[in-house]
C-alpha cells in the first residue's frame, strides 16, 4: 500500500503547486498580445497555451486538439514575423485531474497484481522473490541450536518415549553410529544409511526420530513426504538435493523423511498414469542415499504407516534396510506413556495409572496424550486444583463414545426401551464364555448413541479364536433380542449393532476362513489407493460364490441371534433387575453390575 500512496501523492503535487495561476483569456487575446510584442515565451502543454509576458504576468487559453499551435495562431491572424521570433516551448502535458485518474486506473491494478505475485512467490517457498523455489525448508532441531537460541526447548530423548523398548534397543545402534562412527569405519563396517520406521499413526514415530537425534546430539533435518508433492515438476527433486546437501555439511546428522509413502509408493501404479513429480522426488532420495560415501555420516530415518505400499527399491540393502516397528502399546507401555504425560501435572490422590492403562486397550501414544489433556481440561472446567480419577474416566468415555448429551429429551417409554436394550447387551455378554467382562452400562446418551454398554478386555489380545468372534456376535445382538422378548416389538435402536454384526460375520467368512461351508480361501482383494487409502474390495469370485457368502452370513447371524434370545429368556429376572436399576440411576459400573448378576 505504501507504494501506491507515494505514487498518487507526487503526481498530485505537481500541477497544484506549479507556478502562479495564469489569467484565463480567449485564444484571440493571446494572439493580440503576441502581435503587440508583449509575449516573452509561449508554453504549449497539450492543448493549453500559456503566454508569459515580459512583465511576468501570464495568460492562459486552450486550443482545439486537432490543430497545431502555430496553425491555430495563424488562423487567428498572427503574422508570420511575430511567430518566427516567438519562442515556443512545448512541454509534456501535465496531469489534470482526469489524467491523474487515468493514471491510477492503469497503475494501481499493475501494482496490485505485482504485489500479489510477490506474496504468492514468497509463500510458495518461504524464501526470497522467485529465487528460492527449489530450496527446501527443513526445520533444524538440535541441542546446539537450542542453546544458541537460548530457548528453553527441551530436547527429546529416549526418556520421553515411553514403552517402545524394542524399538529403542534397535535405534540405540543408530545413536552409536552417529556418535562414534570412527569405531565402525576402522573395522570396515558399512554404516547403515537408512532406517524405516513403521507404525500406525500416533505411535510416536516422529517423536522417536527426534529422540534419536537428541540422544546422539546431532542436528535433525525434518521434511514430510507430503510436502514434496508440489505444484511444479522438478521442485521436489531439487528440494531433496538441497536438504541432503545441508545435512552433509552439518554431518553427523539425521534426515527425517516423514510420511515417506507419499513419495515412496511402488512406482507405476499411481492413478491416472503415475505422478512424475513423485517419481522424480523418490529417485532423487535414492540417488542421494546411493551417493553417500562410506564416511558420510548422515542417517536417513523415514516414517510410514503404510510399509506395505512402499516401492521395493526403497527397501534394498544400502537404502532403508533397517526396519523398526512401533507397535500399538500394550498395557505396561500404556502405563509408561501415561506416566510420561502426567509428569508434572497435579494429579489427585486416587488416580490409578495402572487402572487407566487397563481401561484404554487399543489407544496409541497420541490418544493417551489426548486423554491426559482432556482430563486436565475437564478438571479446569470443574474448577478443581487436581486432576482426579473421575476426570480421567469421563475423558476416556468422551473420547471413546463422544460427549455426554444431557439435554436430549426422550419419552419415558423410549427410556425403557433403551434400558432394556442395553441391559440385553450386558446380560448376554455376561453369560458368554468368550466375552469380555462388562465394565459399564449406561442410558445416558453420548454422541449418536442413546445408551451404551462397555465391555473391557482383561488383557491385550493379539489372536482371537473363532469362538470369541461368535460370542461377540451374540453380544452385539443381545440388545435387539431383549427388545423383542420384553416388548414384543422391535425398534431402530439396533441398527448400529446389526451393521457391525454383519460386517463381523462377513469378515469371519471372507478374511479368516472361519466358515466350514466355504473353507479356507479368502474372498475379495483389498484395493489400496495411493491417495484415498482403502478403496474397498474387488471380488475375485463368481456369482455363485457371492450367493453362498450371503447365505452363510445370514446363517451365522441367525444362529447368533437364537443364542442371544435363549440367554435373555433364561436370565429374564436379572435383565429386569438391571433395566430397573438403570432407569433409576442411569449408570451401572462393574462391581454393582456383578452384584446384580449374582
Ligand atoms: P506418529 O509420528 O507416529 O504419527 P507422533 O510421534 O507424532 O506419532 O506422536 C504424537 C504424540 O503422541 C507425541 O507428540 C507424543 O506426545 C505422543 N506419543 C506417542 N507415542 C508416545 C510414546 N511412546 N511415549 C510418549 N508419548 C508418545
Ligand atoms: Mg508423525
Ligand atoms: Zn445396541
Three-state SS sequence of 215-258: HHCCCEEEEEHHHHCCCCCCHHHHHHHHHHHHHHHCCCEEEEEE
d(CA 324, CA 326): 7
Instruction: State if pTM tops 0.75.
Output: no
Q: How many CB atoms lie within 10 A of CB 307?
A: 20
**Which of 204, 257, 306, 367 has most ligand 1 atoms within 8 Å of CB, for mutation?**
204
| Cell (9 digits) for 470 | 461368535
User: How far, in Å, is the centroid of ligand 2 from the Cα of 213?
Assistant: 15
Domain chopping of the chain, boundaries: 2-96, 139-325, 331-401, 412-597
Strands 253-258 and 220-224: parallel
User: Nearest Cα to 197, choosing from 299, 304, 310, 285?
Assistant: 304
| Nearest protein Cα to ligand 1, atom 18 | 365
CATH topology of domain 139-325: Rossmann fold (3.40.50)
576, burial (CB in 10 Å: exposed 0-12, middle 13-18, buried 19+):
middle
The domain over range 331-401 is classified in CATH as 3.50.50.60? no
User: CA-to-CA distance for 292 and 458, rounded, in angstroms?
Assistant: 50
User: Residue 201 CA: which ligand 1 atom is closest?
Assistant: 4
Task: Please give all residues whose CB falls under 5 A of ion ligand 3, grouped by chain where several chains appear.
Answer: 479, 497
Residue 439 in grid coordinates = 465394565
pLDDT value, residue 500: 92
Q: Whose CA is nearest to atom 5 of ligand 1?
A: 204
Residue 305's Cβ-count burial label (10 Å; 0-12, 13-18, 19+) is middle
- Rounded CA-CA distance 424/544 in Å is 37
Atom of ligand 1 nearest to the CA of 161: 24
Pairing type for strands 525-529 and 48-53 reads unpaired
C-alpha cell at 86: 516567438
Shortest-distance Cα residue to atom 21 of ligand 1: 365
Distance of CA 162 from the midpoint of ligand 1 (Å): 9
Q: How far is the CA of 534 from the centre of ligand 2 (A)?
A: 20
Residue 352 Cα to ligand 2 middle (Å)? 29
* Residue among 342, 366, 367, 368 whose CB has most ligand 1 atoms within 8 A, to mutate: 366
Residues touching ligand 1 (Cβ under 6 Å) are: 161-164, 199, 201-207, 303, 337, 340, 365-366, 369
Q: Which atom from ligand 1 is nearest to the alpha carbon of 258?
A: 2
How far apart are the CA of 9 and the centre of ligand 1, in A?
Answer: 57
Give the model's pLDDT for residue 337.
93
- Residues sharing a CB contact under 8 Å with residue 512, sequence separation 6 or more, in sequence order: 466, 469
**Which value, to the nearest 10 degrees, does the dihedral of the CA atoms of residues 379, 384, 386, 392 take?**
-30
What confidence score (pLDDT) does residue 378 get? 92
Q: Which ligand is nearest to the CA of 208?
A: 1
Best residue among 141, 164, 168, 202 to mutate for probing ligand 1's pocket (most ligand atoms within 8 Å of CB) is: 202
Nearest to 468, CA basis, from 499, 427, 512, 412 = 512
Residue 50: what pLDDT? Answer: 81
Kindly give the parts of the chain with pLDDT less than 50.
Answer: 1-19, 125-135, 142-154, 270, 272-273, 529-533, 535
User: At CB < 8 A and 24+ separation, what contacts does 263-270 make?
Assistant: 263/225, 263/228, 263/229, 263/236, 264/225, 264/302, 264/304, 264/310, 264/311, 264/314, 265/309, 265/310, 265/311, 265/530, 266/309, 266/310, 266/311, 266/312, 267/311, 267/313, 269/530, 270/530
Residue 208 alpha carbon, nearest atom of ligand 1: 6
Residue nearest to atom 27 of ligand 1 (CA): 365
H or E element that contains 443: none
Kindly give the distance from the C-alpha atom of residue 204 to the centroid of ligand 1, in angstroms, as a whole number: 3
- Ligand 1 atom closest to the Cα of residue 329 is 23
80 in Cβ contact with 124 (< 8 Å)? no
Calculate the alpha carbon distances from 270 to 82, 267, 273, 532 in Å: 86, 7, 6, 11
Beta-carbon contacts of residue 548 (< 8 Å; ≥ 6 apart): 517, 518
Burial of 15: CB neighbours in 10 Å, binned 0-12, 13-18, 19+: middle
Cα(first)–Cα(last) distance of the chain, in Å?
A: 79
State the pLDDT at residue 191: 77
Superfamily (CATH H level) for 412-597 = Peptidase M41 (1.20.58.760)
Instruction: State how far the Cα of 398 lies from the Cα of 400, in Å rounded to an integer.
Output: 6
d(CA 460, CA 298): 38
pLDDT at 339: 92
For CA atoms 343, 347, 349, 352, give the dihedral sign. Answer: negative
Q: Which ligand is nearest to the CA of 423?
A: 3
Buried/exposed code over 515-531 (b: 16+ C-beta within 10 A; e: otherwise): beebeeeebbeeeeebe
Region for 53 from its dihedrals, namely left if φ exceeds 0, alpha if ψ lies in -120 to 50, beta otherwise: beta
Give the distance (Å) from ligand 2 centre to CA of residue 313: 23
What is the number of residues in the chain? Answer: 598
Return the H-helix or E-strand segment holding 57: none
CATH of domain 2-96: 3.30.720.210
Residue whose C-alpha is closest to residue 326's, from 211, 158, 209, 199: 199
Report the separation in Å between the CA atom of 202 and the middle of ligand 1, taken as the mean of its atom positions.
5
Ligand nearest to the CA of 449: 3
* pLDDT score, position 519: 83
Instruction: Compute the distance between CA of residue 350 and CA of residue 432 in angstroms, rounded to an integer.
Output: 32
Q: Ligand 1 mean position to 239 CA, how many Å?
A: 27
pLDDT of residue 102: 66
**For 437, phi and psi rounded to 5 degrees?**
-60, 150
The CA distance from 49 to 30, in Å, is 9
Active-site residues: which are they? Answer: 422
Ligand closest in space to the Cα of 305:
1
Closest ligand, as measured to the CA of 428: 3
pLDDT of residue 520: 85
Amino acid at each position: 500500500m505504501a507504494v501506491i500512496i507515494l505514487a498518487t501523492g507526487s503526481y498530485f503535487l505537481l500541477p497544484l503547486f506549479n507556478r502562479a495561476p495564469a489569467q484565463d483569456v480567449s485564444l484571440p487575446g493571446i494572439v493580440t498580445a503576441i502581435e503587440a510584442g508583449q509575449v516573452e515565451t509561449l508554453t504549449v502543454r497539450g492543448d493549453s497555451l500559456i503566454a508569459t509576458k515580459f512583465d511576468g504576468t501570464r495568460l492562459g487559453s486552450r486550443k482545439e486538439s486537432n490543430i497545431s499551435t502555430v496553425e491555430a495562431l495563424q488562423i487567428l491572424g498572427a503574422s508570420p514575423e511575430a511567430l518566427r521570433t516567438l519562442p515556443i516551448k512545448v512541454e509534456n502535458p501535465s496531469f489534470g485531474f482526469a489524467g491523474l485518474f487515468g493514471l491510477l486506473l492503469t497503475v494501481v491494478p499493475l501494482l496490485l497484481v505485482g504485489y500479489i505475485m510477490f506474496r504468492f512467490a514468497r509463500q510458495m517457498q518461504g524464501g526470497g522473490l522467485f529465487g528460492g523455489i527449489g530450496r527446501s525448508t527443513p526445520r533444524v532441531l538440535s541441542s546446539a541450536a537450542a542453546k544458541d537460541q537460548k530457548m528453553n526447548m527441551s530436547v527429546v530423548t529416549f526418556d520421553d518415549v515411553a514403552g517402545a523398548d524394542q524399538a529403542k534397543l534397535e535405534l540405540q545402534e543408530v545413536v552409536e553410529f552417529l556418535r562414534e562412527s570412527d569405531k565402525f569405519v576402522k573395522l570396515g563396517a558399512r554404516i547403515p544409511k537408512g532406517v524405516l520406521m513403521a507404525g500406525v499413526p500416533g505411535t510416536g514415530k516422529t517423536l522417536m526420530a527426534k529422540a534419536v537425534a537428541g540422544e546422539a546430539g546431532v542436528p535433525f533435518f525434518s521434511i514430510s513426504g507430503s510436502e514434496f508433492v508440489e505444484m511444479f515438476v522438478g521442485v521436489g527433486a531439487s528440494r531433496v538435493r538441497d536438504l541432503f546437501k545441508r545435512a552433509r555439511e552439518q554431518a553427523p546428522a539425521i534426515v527425517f523423511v516423514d510420511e515417506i509413502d507419499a513419495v515412496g509408493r511402488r512406482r507405476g501404479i499411481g492413478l491416472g498414469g503415475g505422478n512424475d513429480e513423485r517419481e522424480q522426488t523418490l529417485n532423487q532420495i535414492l540417488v542421494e542415499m546411493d551417493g553417500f560415501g562410506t564416511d558420510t555420516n548422515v542417517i536417513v530415518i523415514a516414517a510410514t504407516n503404510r510399509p506395505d505400499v512402499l516401492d521395493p527399491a526403497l527397501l534394498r540393502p544400502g537404502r532403508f534396510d533397517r526396519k523398526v516397528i512401533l507397535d500399538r502399546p500394550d498395557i505396561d507401555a500404556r502405563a509408561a506413556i501415561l506416566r510420561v504425560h502426567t509428569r508434572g501435572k497435579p494429579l489427585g490422590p486416587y488416580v490409578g495409572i495402572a487402572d487407566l492403562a487397563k481401561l484404554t486397550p487399543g489407544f496409541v501414544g497420541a490418544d493417551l496424550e489426548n486423554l491426559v489433556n482432556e482430563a486436565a481440561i475437564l478438571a479446569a472446567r470443574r474448577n478443581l486444583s487436581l486432576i482426579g480419577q473421575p476426570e480421567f474416566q469421563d475423558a476416556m468415555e468422551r473420547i471413546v463414545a463422544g460427549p455426554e448429551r444431557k439435554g436430549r429429551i426422550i419419552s419415558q417409554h423410549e427410556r425403557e426401551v433403551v434400558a432394556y436394550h442395553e441391559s440385553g447387551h450386558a446380560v448376554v455378554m455376561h453369560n458368554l464364555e468368550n466375552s469380555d467382562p462388562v465394565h459399564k452400562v449406561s442410558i445416558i446418551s453420548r454422541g449418536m448413541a442413546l445408551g451404551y454398554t462397555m465391555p473391557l478386555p482383561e488383557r491385550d489380545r493379539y489372536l482371537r479364536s473363532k469362538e470369541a468372534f461368535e460370542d461377540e456376535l451374540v453380544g452385539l445382538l443381545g440388545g435387539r433380542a431383549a427388545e423383542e422378548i420384553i416388548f414384543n416389538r422391535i425398534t431402530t435402536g439396533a441398527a448400529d449393532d446389526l451393521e457391525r454384526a454383519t460386517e463381523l460375520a462377513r469378515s469371519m467368512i471372507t478374511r479368516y476362513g472361519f466358515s466350514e461351508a466355504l473353507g479356507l480361501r479368502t474372498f475379495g482383494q483389498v484395493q489400496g489407493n495411493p491417495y484415498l487409502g482403502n478403496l474397498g474390495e474387488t471380488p475375485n469370485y463368481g456369482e455363485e460364490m457371492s450367493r453362498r457368502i450371503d447365505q452363510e452370513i445370514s446363517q451365522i447371524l441367525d444362529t447368533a441371534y437364537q443364542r442371544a434370545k435363549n440367554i435373555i429368556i433364561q436370565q429374564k429376572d436379572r435383565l429386569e433387575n438391571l433395566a430397573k436399576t438403570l432407569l433409576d440411576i442411569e449408570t451401572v459400573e462393574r462391581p454393582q453390575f456383578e452384584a446384580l448378576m449374582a
